[in-house]
Structure 1
């Protein structure tokens, strides 16, 4: 058990070729974990960087509900440090995955305050990930024992799911974002089993960004099409 801190940047953009139907999503995040063993006499640190890019097709439904579905590609790399391992204290993790994703949003109000609720899951379908043999030293890899390091990812040896739930409180041009994120990762390969479950409270700032050339007037028929709202 332990604590996790993370910083995430997210950008959603309605695509020019069909802004009503297609939305691009780009995310980049950095996470740092600190965990203790049950006896509380050893700790382990984990640092991880991740980025995803994807496209989703959306459908506008009655009652201000929007549904979207699509795919994404994700890459992550990180390291785990175990202070009690004197011979091999650092483990490296890396993965490249193809994912299915989507979201559901609902625009409503709390009194006069506009509110947007969103739920978005992301699940890898396939990909590749790095894992050495059980007990293999990185020095051995350096000496040339580099077979069996890259593995094909499928749900039998690599399962991950991220659940994202957010509420945007629209305070004028800027919104206060609060929510929760759950990240589940389970891998089993080379006699190494890893299970990681984390919950994060989200506090952030969101808003609309418009790309307009200085001095150029907007067309009278122009409409602002939001990627999420």
Structure 2
């Protein structure tokens, strides 16, 4: 080989090495892009049923606080999305409760119920292999009623409000004697919203029949609607299933139109967790999976 050919050979080798490095990098990216979308196909679903103690105040119906028992169903699903390199998870919660309460002198009773739907996103901060902190926001939709069994003029009070809520969560995985556990704490706090409330002394007949509806829709802040929902749960396997035990502390309050309301609920729940995989099918079939959605 002639001496003049050596520089050309060195340049060719350098170009070949650079091309190989680029191809390897592209291959890694393509592989990651191929595998990454699969993460958002894993869904964790849980359904829990619970019972607990509640206190209800609605000064539109009575100045007295009512206490009693509450039953609740709580359904939740979570999955990862493709947003922000797969660090965003989507949470969908549906819950409904029904309570039967009595006043302190035990001469009157109420029925109350509320349906709640939360839908939102969280950014996941992975602090090691076992701990995650999540922060995000939820759309919080609520509709319900309180019915007083002895009132005649105003026997019922309607509940309807929508909030944008800040949400935080901590998820910790650990083992006890080779048994895997998942502990989780979540808190949702409304920061702004819209609430329906009659004015003090105003009947629903005036609002919906006579059309006197001025001031019944109010914008709310943490000052006029201080509220928080806190959930503490523990997941662990039982035979071939996964059990979830949880405690819900639900505080809903409002102070608008010279009317005060609150509902304080302490609920203990039990249910089962399913981890599913959404296959690529036009109907979106779900198959059982052992993968973790969050």
- Give the 3-state SS of the residue equivalent to 2:106 in structure 1: coil
Match of 1:110 in 2: 176
Q: State whether structure 2 residue 214 is matched by structure 1 residue 151.
A: no
Instruction: Give the counterpart of 1:69 among 135, 138, 141.
Output: 135
Deviation string 1:53-112 (CA, Å, 9 cap, x unpaired) is: 000000111251111100011111011100111111011010010010021011011212
Match of 2:42 in 1: none
Contact 1:14 1:226 in 2 (8 A): no
Match of 2:146 in 1: 80
Contact 1:173 1:208 in 2 (8 A): no
Normalized per residue, the structure richer in helix is: 2
Normalising by structure 1, we get a TM-score of 0.91
Match of 1:128 in 2: 194
Instruction: Give the counterpart of 2:112 among 43, 46, 54.
Output: 46
Quickly say closer, same or farther: Cα 1:122–1:78, change in 2 above 3 A: same
Deviation string 1:7-58 (CA, Å, 9 cap, x unpaired) is: 1110001113457411000011111011110001111111111101000000
Match of 2:55 in 1: none
Q: State whether structure 2 residue 233 is matched by structure 1 residue 166.
A: yes
Deviation string 1:139-180 (CA, Å, 9 cap, x unpaired) is: 111211111110001011111101100000134663100010
Larger RCO: Structure 1 or Structure 2 (Cα < 8 Å, ≥ 6 residues apart)? Answer: 2
Q: State whether structure 2 residue 257 is matched by structure 1 residue 190.
A: yes
Q: State whether structure 2 residue 275 is matched by structure 1 residue 200.
A: no
Tell me, which stretches of 5 or more residues in structure 2 are unaligned?
Answer: 1-66, 282-289
Larger Rg: 2
Q: State whether structure 2 residue 125 is matched by structure 1 residue 59.
A: yes
Aligned partners of 1:172, 1:108: CA distance in 2, in Å? 18
- Give the 3-state SS of the residue equivalent to 2:114 in structure 1: strand
Contact 2:191 2:222 in 1 (8 A): yes
Aligned partners of 1:36, 1:172: CA distance in 2, in Å? 42
Instruction: Give the counterpart of 2:163 among 62, 72, 97.
Output: 97
Aligned partners of 1:213, 1:89: CA distance in 2, in Å? 52
Contact 1:174 1:208 in 2 (8 A): no
Normalising by structure 2, we get a TM-score of 0.71
Aligned partners of 2:85, 2:279: CA distance in 1, in Å? 16
Give the superposed CA RMSD. Answer: 1.6
- Give the 3-state SS of the residue equivalent to 1:140 in structure 2: helix
Contact 2:275 2:291 in 1 (8 A): no
Aligned residues: 219
Tell me, which stretches of 5 or more residues in structure 1 are unaligned?
Answer: 215-223
